Amino acid sequence: MSQILAPGTSAPAFTLHSAPEQTLSLGDFRGKPVILAFYPADWSPVCGDQMALYNQVRPEFQKHGAELLGVSVDGVWCHQAFAKQSHLHFPLLADFEPKGAVARTFGAYQESAGVCERALFVIDGNGVIFWSFCSPMAVNPGADGILDALERLPK
């Protein structure tokens, strides 16, 4: 497993495509917490899909004013089809070209598999990592760690 960035570290700035004609930057969300969820791939074949779960839990994240961003190495068109099929209501970012470049800056890229780790980051309103967690590739980490972190964030 990769060594992901630890709490207290400034989150590396990035700009990625969230749609064919649209980009998002981490800096756009200054002033509010951001949940950055790196995951290996769209189209996970089970109901236990991590993004589907976060989509359902999103109202709880929003109670803390937090924005949720999913990141994988899939391209924008793939993300778009996946988001549509799963009715996702949050952006999926394409860390596609150069492949995995943003994941690498967070220590969340798995070279051998060529995909993002299942790595979670809660970034505070000042852009500093408040909590991070890397789950084994095959284990969906759930949402409890994110909610615990959001509750502990200084108001």
- E strand or H helix that includes residue 103: helix 101-105
Under the binding rule (CB under 8 A), the answer on residue 80 touching other proteins is: no
Residues 86-125: x where in contact with other proteins by CB under 8 A, - otherwise, as a string: xxxx------------------------------------
Closest CA to 93 of 51, 128, 63, 135: 51
- Count the Cβ atoms, other than its own, within 10 Å of residue 153: 15
Q: Write phi, then psi, for 59 (nearest 5 degrees).
A: -55, -35
Nearer to other proteins, 53 or 78 (CB): 53
Go through the chain and tell me how many residues it has. Answer: 155
Q: Which stretch binds other proteins (CB under 8 A): 11-19, 33-41, 99-107, 138-146?
A: 138-146
**In the complex, least distance from residue 46 CB atom to other proteins, rounded to whole angstroms:** 6
Where along the sequence are the contacts to other proteins (CB under 8 A)? 46-50, 52-53, 55-57, 60, 86-89, 139-144, 147
